[in-house]
Amino acid sequence: MARNYYVIFEDDEWKVKLERGAVVSAGHRTQKGAKRKAEKLARKNNRGITVNAKAGYTRYSKEADEF
């Protein structure tokens, strides 16, 4: 099973992180910007995404076949 990309809020900025891995994109001012980047990476690499709220809980997930 492929690892998902996670949209997280950390250190006062939104980031895209690979599940159990490194941050792949940082410095996003908004969740929407980070989500767009995660979706672009997910389509390119056939992975899903999980979007977390600023408080840390999971808002929603999309599987790779939903893109």
pLDDT tens profile 3-62: 999 999 999 999 999 999 999 999 999 999 999 999 999 999 999 999 999 999 999 999
Element spanning 24, H or E: strand 23-28
Residue labelled with tokens 């076949």: 65
Cβ contact 50:66 at 8 Å:
no
Task: Determine the pLDDT at residue 11.
Answer: 96
Which pTM does this prediction carry? 0.93
Domain coverage including residue 13? 5-66
The pLDDT of residue 44: 96
Count of domains observed in the chain: 1
